[in-house]
């Protein structure tokens, strides 16, 4: 019993729970945008979606860590990589499969469309992380997969109560652009480790400054899209206030550039803009519910 408890604690310490929770805003806000009149049945559906999506995203991260375990062990910034915590690779591989199975099981009552979207997201994750030459090491392709993943993750929630269409695609564009922009920033953060491991991310292939500016451009485009949707009343007009938050992001990005885009400066920037987009998420929730 003690051995099982110890293993579970080790696994919990190696699963990126904070990252998993951060990414739940996309499908949950997708569900809120399509919710309509709240009912107990819809509340149960959203609860199942949240649980299933947590398992799905945890699967994505565990699979990525499992497939990149050799490179991670050579990265001094990944001290919590599972192998360093004493968790065997086979155990993490099994955990990845179990998490995906749990995600499918939890989302099965929500219908075949929801399950298909979840499996599509898992498929993109496998394409990004697995194989001898994963897409994470192919410049541009990795960003395209993140754009597609952002669209699918938003529709995972939106499809519970709404139909696919122009509105859902436009809304998903905001989340997809921020997701891809965030990952470009992460590639800048991991530049030194990826370079030493021979992983040709966008930052390695084109230079960290260019990748950083490209990520910032995607964030700016996402904010502009949301303001345009608010102006057209596709979303509540109050969401045009996001334009007032963009200067903060620009100032913080300039500070990171001046610091030389070091690991620490980019980590500080990521923490800051995550709080910024958390505020945007709260604005979306309040404005949509009050509409």
Q: In this predicted structure, which of 64-78, 93-107, 191-205 has the lowest mean pLDDT?
A: 64-78
Among candidates 173, 272, 154, which has minimal Cα distance to 224? 173
Number of folded domains that form the chain: 2
Distant-in-sequence, close-in-space partners of 154: CB < 8 Å, separation ≥ 6: 26, 27, 29, 30, 168, 171, 172, 175, 176
Which of 134, 161, 188 represents a domain boundary (last residue)? 161
> DSSP label at 262?
-
Which of 139, 161, 183 represents a domain boundary (last residue)? 161
CATH number at residue 21: 1.10.357.140
Q: Please check whether residues 206 and 91 belong to one and the same domain.
A: no
Q: What pLDDT does residue 243 have?
A: 86
Residues 140, 125: Cα–Cα separation, whole Å = 15
Q: Please check whether residues 151 and 13 belong to one and the same domain.
A: yes
- What are the Cα distances from residue 194, in Å, to 71, 190, 261? 8, 6, 15
Percent of the chain surpassing pLDDT 70: 87
Q: Please check whether residues 146 and 221 belong to one and the same domain.
A: no
Q: Please check whether residues 4 and 145 belong to one and the same domain.
A: yes
CATH number at residue 184: 1.20.120
Q: Model confidence over 231-290: pLDDT tens digits?
A: 998 998 988 888 888 899 999 999 999 999 999 999 999 999 999 999 999 999 888 887
Q: Please check whether residues 181 and 130 belong to one and the same domain.
A: no
Residue 98 confidence (pLDDT) above 80: yes
Range(s) of the domain holding residue 26: 1-161
Q: What pLDDT does residue 82 have?
A: 59
Q: Please check whether residues 169 and 289 belong to one and the same domain.
A: yes
Which of 130, 161, 192 represents a domain boundary (last residue)? 161
């Amino acid at each position: 019993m003690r051995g099982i408890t110890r293993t579970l604690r080790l696994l919990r310490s190696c699963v990126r729970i904070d990252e998993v929770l951060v990414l739940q805003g996309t499908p949950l806000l997708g569900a809120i945008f399509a919710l309509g009149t709240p009912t107990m049945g819809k509340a149960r559906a959203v609860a199942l979606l949240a649980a299933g999506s947590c398992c799905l995203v945890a699967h994505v991260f565990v699979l990525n860590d499992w497939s990149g375990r050799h490179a991670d062990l050579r990265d001094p910034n990944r001290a919590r990589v599972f192998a360093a915590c004493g968790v065997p690779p086979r155990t993490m591989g099994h955990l990845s499969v179990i998490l995906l199975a749990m995600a499918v099981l939890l989302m099965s009552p929500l219908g075949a469309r929801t399950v298909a979207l979840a499996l599509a997201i898992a498929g993109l994750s496998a394409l990004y992380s697995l194989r001898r030459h994963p897409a994470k090491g192919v410049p541009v392709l990795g960003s395209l997969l993140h754009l597609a993943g952002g669209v699918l993750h938003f529709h995972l929630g939106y499809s519970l109560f709404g139909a696919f269409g122009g509105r859902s695609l436009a809304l998903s564009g905001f989340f997809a652009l921020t997701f891809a922009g965030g990952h470009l920033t992460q590639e800048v953060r991991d530049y030194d480790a990826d370079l030493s491991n021979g992983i040709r991310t966008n930052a390695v292939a084109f230079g960290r400054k260019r990748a950083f500016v490209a990520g910032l451009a995607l964030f700016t485009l996402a904010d502009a899209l949301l303001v345009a949707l608010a102006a057209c009343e596709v979303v509540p007009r109050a969401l045009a206030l996001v334009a007032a938050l963009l200067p903060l992001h620009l100032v913080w990005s300039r500070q990171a550039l001046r610091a030389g885009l070091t690991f620490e400066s980019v980590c500080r920037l990521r923490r800051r803009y995550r709080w910024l987009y958390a505020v945007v998420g709260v604005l979306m929730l309040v404005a949509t519910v009050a509409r």
